[in-house]
Structure 1
């Protein structure tokens, strides 16, 4: 059995932490400073992690490679299995033009551009984040706003800022699933704590969006629908994350937010002409005004209804037990590792949930979607294969980052950094969201940031006496606010609205809001670590 040392370098915790941080420094430097492609940065970081595990921590080469292989497999299944099938459902709606039908359905809710920003960027963006993630909400929502007549810069800023509250549960809960796996904390517990942090952001973001669209006037005239939308979104996200399913959190929240807008009388009032003249400065896409037949509108909503139905049925006691029986558990070959305290790690046994996983459930919903949308089997298979090809860079990135995380956790590198960071004591609660923000700002992915920093957050929490689930969740919740300033998302937004080369302009506009909301999240987590808001934790 391999038992890692916490201070393998000259018996010094500080020097050991410095060496242990080399894999993370490699990834962040290549991404942030050298602007290397994410797959290359991930593979380079993995190589450095392996060298540090073998050279500094004396982890046998066989166990190092075995740990990396397990991380890569977890990246493929269930993480990328979820992402591929979720994006496949979205691609089928695009192929059959039902995506445009859904877009027009949302756009007809109101002619007020401030309300349209809420419907499209916040509610519909959350729905896209739930299914696709990986920059799709920013690209699609900014294009839709431009089609309605929004100035490209304003459309991009609104889409970037809106892509915050749903990120932690994006791609059918992939970030929290990853966080639970790398920290060995129960998924239900991690999701519940995140579900008691990010909903508080959802109360603020819609108000911020109407202010971004139309300044003080927008906030003064449309605060009611904005607050109703944010409140409904927050309640639904909290309820799903805590009592139903983390995978359904964003879908339920998006639909609840849109329903709240539709039920708010002031959201349906025609906008004053001076408001439209001030906000809509671009060319209006005439296609946005087309009225679709009711059966086609129902088909456009069907994929999301199917996903909700499949996941809801899967949570029923007898069904859940039946799905769990298909899970295969076995000793992972060539791996026998323990913690620094000598306790055998759960990673020595690998669980393969063939049916009881979000990806398989989305696949079932996707098969139903193909039938409802009348996509021929050959075409549906072609879209699935095209999805895999489209995600090939993401596949390399995710598998390499998960492999890196597993090597760092198993070899003791994450534990060393965690013990060193624990010197911050109670201040860790304030700093944990900052670490998540930094990770997402650089990698562009809450999933990657959770894989990189989740383990050390938990170690630091245990050493400082703080609840480990609080700091693990805090990193993910703070990370969502780094999404809007990540180079990946800025580039996607600029390319979508024809502003290529003006990423710096967008960064200057969204950075103050990113930092301001990050401060709010830091204060929330700090209060949750004390009796002030400690009662919020499960």
Structure 2
């Protein structure tokens, strides 16, 4: 039996906290300063956390190793399990060619690249984050934006900023459900509190995207759409956090946002349609019959030449446009016919399947049937109690094999494959290839969550929480900054919650602040850090052909994240005072 002790170094919380911080400092320095690859930084941090647990906190080596293995298991299932299956789901659409169908369908809504940036990066990106997470929205949306002629650097920056506010409810609500599991706080209350924080960011992100694409000119001409999109998504998150299961909040908000934005574009269009944004290439415009303008552009993206031909409707003309790129494989000198409604519906089928499966789990009969296949057991080799002699909750493991978010996406993929006309052999081969490509991402996440479990079980996290509590009520505005910092360096809001969830809870108990407020603030702050995490920067750089230039992307987006986290910290501070304290459930 191991009994936790929170002041093992000379019975001093300050001295003990110095040792307890070593695993986190190792991770931050190796990643942020020395720029070591994430997998090796995470492995080093795990080794340091185990060393501190054994030699400073006196935790038996066998139990330390067992705790690390439990954390690694949780890191794989359910945390990285969602990413594996979500990326596979998208790759099925690539195999069937329906990824291009979806891109063309989105592009036909408007010929204005600034409008397309909002629809693709924010609306569609939010849906991808809701279903997948793990950097998938950045990779997928950046490729789509480049295919419509947006400069690679701008495309990556737009996608990185867009993939922030949806993150808290992303991956079918995984960051919040993992946080609730670690802290034993109610999922719904955390969801409601996050829904009263992240919508602040959602209000302004579409405006930031338009500014990145086209500066002040874009803001002046496209602000009505950006405002409508931001307000609708923010309201969707706010209302959904109170009324919907956490798995559906972002999905519903993204779908409503996309629907209303498209409807708004039927009655409003930018004053000037522009295909000549900086870096998009040389564009010439000629008038043709029917009140249309036709833009022909040749541009180079990541060293690959693409030719784009877009027939663009004039505002109010009611006509449609066709967009073709080298990826469409249309014969030279011809215009590809619009995709049929059936093909567009097939392209949307995987995402509709996820929504259908999630909704089905809310039916008691189906939910109970899936929930019956659940494993609950004491983790082998772990016998840990707190100073009062109460067993620590982490010694018990629970695996919801079919009700987990990743399994839901897997089921949706199995249902979608026949609709996409992808054979079982191709689907299986794609899955195995996907596993191989994600092997290091799996390793990294397992190590990071292993660090969290070792620190929680040994008492290191509680030590840091007690030390942080000395700041008293002044800790409130710092709370989201911790989440921002953790996500920036681990690349995952879920991992940030696993690392700092107990710290936030402990600090709340020692300062008299709301535990729901601080734990939710960790999640909300983490969404901002997603834009500057090494993993997301690397994904964005690879997607746009800028490998090795992650620093350029970092400089392009870091200023925006500082503004966002400052606004969020102010909001959390006000929520900790009588001014906005009524917002805390």
- What TM-score does the superposition give when structure 1 sets the normalisation length? 0.94
CA shift, 1:270, in A, is: 5.9
Contact 1:127–1:254 (CA under 8 A) maintained in structure 2: yes
Equivalent residue runs for 1:430-441 within 5 Å: 430-441=477-488
Contact 2:150 2:277 in 1 (8 A): no
Name the one with the larger helix percent. 1
Corresponding residue number in structure 1 for 2:294: none
What per-residue deviation string (whole Å, max 9, x for no partner) do you get for residues 140-159 of structure 1?
Answer: 32232222222222222212
Displacement of 1:124 = 1.5
Q: Deviations over 1:415-462 (max 9, x none)?
A: 000000111111211001111111122222222222222221111111
Separation (CA, whole Å) in 1 of partners of 2:56 and 2:409: 43
What stretches of structure 1 move > 6 A for 4+ residues in a row? none
Partner of 1:353: 400
CA contact (8 A) 1:182 1:406 kept: no
Report which stretch shifted further, 422-431 or 440-449.
440-449
Which one has the largest radius of gyration? Answer: 2
Partner of 1:476: 523
Q: Distance in 1 between matches of 2:49 and 2:568?
A: 31
Write the mapping of 1:91-102 to structure 2, written as runs, cut at 5 A. Answer: 91-102=91-102
Q: Is the 8 A contact 1:415 1:459 kept in 2?
A: yes
Which residue of 2 is the match for residue 129 of structure 1?
Answer: 129
Larger strand share, 1 or 2: 2
**SS in structure 1 at match of 2:376:** strand
- Shift of the alpha carbon at 1:266? 6.6
> In the alignment, which of 300, 303, 324 is matched to residue 350 of structure 2?
303
Q: RMSD of aligned C-alpha atoms? A: 2.0
Q: Is the 8 A contact 2:195 2:237 kept in 1?
A: yes
Whole-angstrom distance in 2 between the partners of 1:267 and 1:4: 64
Matched ranges for 1:404-419 at <5 A:
404-419=451-466
**Pairing 1:233-382 to 2, within 5 Å after superposition:** 233-265=233-265, 269=269, 272-273=272-273, 275-278=274-277, 281-282=280-281, 283=299, 285-286=308-309, 287=324, 290=336, 291-382=338-429
Gaps of 5+ in 2: 282-298, 300-306, 310-323, 326-334
Equivalent positions of 1:158-169 (< 5 A) are: 158-169=158-169
- Cα distance in structure 2, aligned partners of 1:265 and 1:452: 43
Give, in angstroms, the shift of residue 97 of structure 1: 1.1
Contact kept in structure 2, 1:110 and 1:268, CA below 8 Å: no
Contact 1:131 1:172 in 2 (8 A): yes
Matched with 2:74 is: 74
Contact 2:225 2:264 (8 Å CA) reproduced: yes
- Does the 8 Å CA contact 2:82/2:132 hold for their aligned counterparts? no
**8 A contact 1:251–1:304 mirrored in 2:** no
Contact 2:448 2:490 in 1 (8 A): no
Equivalents in 2 of 1:487, 1:404: separation in Å? Answer: 19
Q: Does 1:38 align with 2:27?
A: no
Q: Secondary structure at the match of 1:342?
A: coil
**TM-aligned CA deviation for residue 341 of structure 1:** 4.0
Contact 2:89-2:350 within 8 A present in 1 as well = yes
- Asked if structure 2 preserves the Cα contact closer than 8 Å seen for 1:199 and 1:237, the reply is yes
What TM-score does the superposition give when structure 2 sets the normalisation length? 0.87
Per-residue deviation, 1:372:
1.0
Is the Cα contact below 8 Å between 2:191 and 2:241 reproduced in 1?
A: yes
3-state SS in 2 of match to 1:330: strand
8 Å Cα contact 1:111-1:271 kept in structure 2? no
Matches within 5 A, 1:211-222: 211-222=211-222
Relative to structure 2, which stretch is displaced further, 8-17 or 277-286? 277-286
Distance 1:279 1:262, change over 3 A: farther
Moved more, 151-160 or 360-369: 151-160
Question: Residues of 2 paired with 1:270 and 1:194: CA distance?
Answer: 33
Which residue of structure 1 aligns with residue 62 of structure 2?
A: 62
Alpha-carbon distance in 2 for matches of 1:358, 1:485: 25
1:182, CA displacement in angstroms? 2.7
* Structure 2: distance between partners of 1:515 and 1:233: 22
State the Cα distance separating 1:132 from its structure 2 match. 3.2
For structure 1, which segment, 262-271 or 356-365, has the greater mean C-alpha deviation from structure 2 after superposition?
A: 262-271
CA shift in 2, pair 1:157/1:83, >3 Å:
closer
| Correspondence for 1:386 | 433
d(CA) in 1 for partners of 2:442 and 2:483? 22
Quick check: 2:196–2:583 contact (8 Å CA) kept in 1?
Answer: yes
Q: Is the 8 A contact 1:113 1:279 kept in 2?
A: no
- Structure 2 residue aligned with 1:429: 476
Task: Give the equivalent residue in structure 2 for 1:485.
Answer: 532
Aligned residues: 537
Aligned-pair CA distance for 1:262: 0.8
Q: Deviation per CA, 1:245-280, whole angstroms, max 9, x where unpaired?
A: 22223222222211111111477526525x433457
